[in-house]
Amino acid sequence: MNQAAHAAPAPRRNLVATMAPYLRPRPIAALLLGISSGFPLALLLGTMTFWLTKVGIDKKTIGFAVGLTTPYTLKFLWAPFIDRIKLPLITRLFGQRRAWLFLIMALLFGSVWMLGLSDPAHHLGRFAFWAIVTAFLGATQDIVIDAYRIEILPDDELPHGTANNQFGYRLGALAAGVGTIAMASSEGFGLGWARAYGLTGFCIVPGILAALWAGRGLHDKVLAREPVENIGKWLETTVVGPFREFLKRRGALLILLFVLIYKLGDAMGQIMLNPMIVNLGFTDTEFIVINKGIGFWGLIVGTALAAPFMAWLGMGRALFASGVLMMVSNLMFAILALQGHSNLWLTLAVTTEQVTSGLGLTVFVTYLSGLSNLAYTATQFALLSSFAAVGRTWLSAPAGIAAEKLGWPGFWLMTMIVALPGLLLLWLLWRKGFVVETVRQPKSEDDETAIAEGEPAPGR
C-alpha cells in the first residue's frame, strides 16, 4: 500500500512536466505570433462567408469566393526570396525574419482597412481585389512567421511552441470572427463592416511585440556566414535548392499528396459551416456566443492536449487518431442539420469540432515543422503548407455545390467520406516508414555549419 501511495503522484508529476513548457518565454512568443498570423485568413474565410451570406450572395458564389485565398496555395513560389533577400537598412537593424515581418505587417494593416471599405453588396469586384491583396500579404506574413517560429524554438519546446502558436492562431481567428462580427453587427456594437474590419487590423500588434521580445532567429546566423556568390549560383541556391533537397527524400511525393488531402473533409466543412448556421436561423448573438464563445473553450482543451498527445502516441499514431476524431466530429453537424435550430446541438457540435480541430491542427503543423530543413525553413514550410492550402482552397471549392445538391445532412456525411483517403494514405506512409518522429534542428556548431552550406544536419 505504501509503495502504491508513493507511486501515485508520478503520473501527475509527468503531466506537470509535459505541460510546463507552454509557459516558457519562446512558446509564449510563438503564441503572440500566432495571433497576428491567424486573423487575415479568418477574415477571408469564416467572416467573409458570413458577411457575404448576410448581404445576399448565393451559396455557389460563396463556395468559389474561397478561391480569393489562392495566394495561400502559391506562397511557396516567392518564399525562396523571403528566405534570402535582405531588405535595405531594416535587415541590418532587425535581422532577416523580423525585417520582412515588420514590412509585411504595415502593408497588411492598410489592405485590411481597404477590404472593410469595399462594400461587396454593391462592388463585388472591388471586394475581390482587396481580398486577393490581403490574402497575398497574409500568406507572405505566414511565410515569415512560420519560419521565424521554427527557428526560435529548440527541439524540446517545438511541440509546445507549435501548440501555443496554434492557440494564438485561433485567438487571432476568434478576434477576426467573433470580434469583427460583434463590432459590425447591429446586435453588437453596430460599427458596420468597414470599421470592424479596420479595427481587426490591429491584430498585428501582438506579433510585433513578440518579435521585439524574442530577438533574431537562427536564419540570421546562416545569412551572416553566407559566402558571396554570383547571381546564377545565388538563384540556384535560393530557388532550386529548397525543392531539390525535399524531393530527394524518400517518399517525398507521397508525403506531398498526404499533406494535400489529409484535412480535405475538415476544410469542406469549415467553408460551409457559417452559411449553414445562417440558413438554420441562428441569430448573430447565438452565433457569437455558441460558435465563437463556447467553442473557444473547446479549442483551448484541444490545443493544450496536443503536446502530451504527441508525446504519448508518437507522431504517426497522433496524426491518425486526430484525423479520425476530426472526421467523426463532422457527424455532429449532420445531426445538427437534422435537428434544425437547436442551441443544444449547435453547442455539442461546435465544442466537439473545436476540441478535435485544435488537437488535429496542432499535430499536423508540428508534423510539417518537423519536415522543414533549417537550411530552407521558410521555403519548405511554405511548400508544405501551400499544398495543405490547395485542399482547403480549390479541392474544397465545390463545397457550396455539394451542399445545394445533397442538403445539409448529406453534405456533412459526404465530408466524412472525403476524409477517408487521407487516413488511408497516412497508413501507407506509416507502413513505409515515411512519418517523421523527430524534428530537424541544429544541435551544435557543426550542425549550423552544415545548414549554412545547405545540407541536412549531421546524423539527421
pLDDT at 224: 60
What distance in Å separates the CA atoms of residue 328 and residue 83, rounded to the nearest whole number?
39
Q: What is the pTM of this model?
A: 0.74
Alpha-carbon distance values, 305 to 34, 167, 355, 364, 369 (Å): 18, 11, 9, 14, 18
The answer to whether residue 5 is domain-embedded is: no
The answer to whether residue 57 is domain-embedded is: yes
The answer to whether residue 391 is domain-embedded is: yes
The answer to whether residue 127 is domain-embedded is: yes
Q: Which three cell numbers stand for residue 95?
A: 535581422
What distance in Å separates the CA atoms of residue 374 and residue 440, rounded to the nearest whole number?
7
Complete DSSP assignment for 121-141: TT-HHHHHHHHHHHHHHHHHH
Burial status of residue 122 (CB atoms within 10 A of its CB: 0-12, 13-18, 19 or more): exposed
pLDDT at 395: 64
Phi, psi of 399 (to 5 degrees): -60, -40
The answer to whether residue 300 is domain-embedded is: yes
What distance in Å separates the CA atoms of residue 379 and residue 75, rounded to the nearest whole number?
9
- Return all residues near 283 (Cβ < 8 A) that are at least 6 apart: 187
Handedness of CA 44, 165, 163, 149 (dihedral sign): positive
Alpha-carbon distance values, 246 to 62, 377, 426, 442, 456 (Å): 35, 11, 19, 17, 10
pLDDT at 31: 95
The answer to whether residue 427 is domain-embedded is: yes
Complete DSSP assignment for 250-296: TTHHHHHHHHHHTTHHHHHHHHHHHHHHHHTT--HHHIIIIIIIIHH
The answer to whether residue 16 is domain-embedded is: no
Degrees (nearest 5) of the Cα angle 271, 275, 276? 100
> Tens of pLDDT along the chain (460 residues)?
444 444 444 445 566 667 788 889 999 999 999 999 999 998 987 788 888 888 777 767 776 676 788 888 889 889 988 888 889 889 889 988 999 999 999 999 999 999 999 988 788 889 889 999 999 999 999 999 999 998 898 878 888 999 899 889 988 988 998 899 889 987 778 899 999 999 999 999 999 999 999 988 766 666 665 555 567 777 777 778 888 888 888 888 888 888 888 888 888 887 788 788 888 888 878 877 887 678 778 888 898 888 888 888 888 889 999 999 999 899 999 999 999 899 999 999 989 988 998 899 889 988 888 887 777 788 888 888 887 777 666 666 677 788 888 889 999 999 899 889 989 989 888 887 776 544 444 444 444 443 333 333 322 2
Full residue range of the structural domain in which residue 31 is found: 24-452
Q: How many independent structural domains does the chain possess?
A: 1
**Residue 253: count of CB within 10 angstroms of its CB:** 9
Distance of CA 377 to the CA centre of its chain: 16
**CATH number, residue 310:** 1.20.1250.20
Buried b (16+ CB within 10 A) or exposed e, 388-415: bbbbbbebbbebbebbeeeebeebbbbb
- Return all residues near 59 (Cβ < 8 A) that are at least 6 apart: 272, 275, 400, 403, 404
The answer to whether residue 142 is domain-embedded is: yes
CB 82 within 8 A of CB 215: no
pLDDT at 368: 87
CB 393 within 8 A of CB 58: no
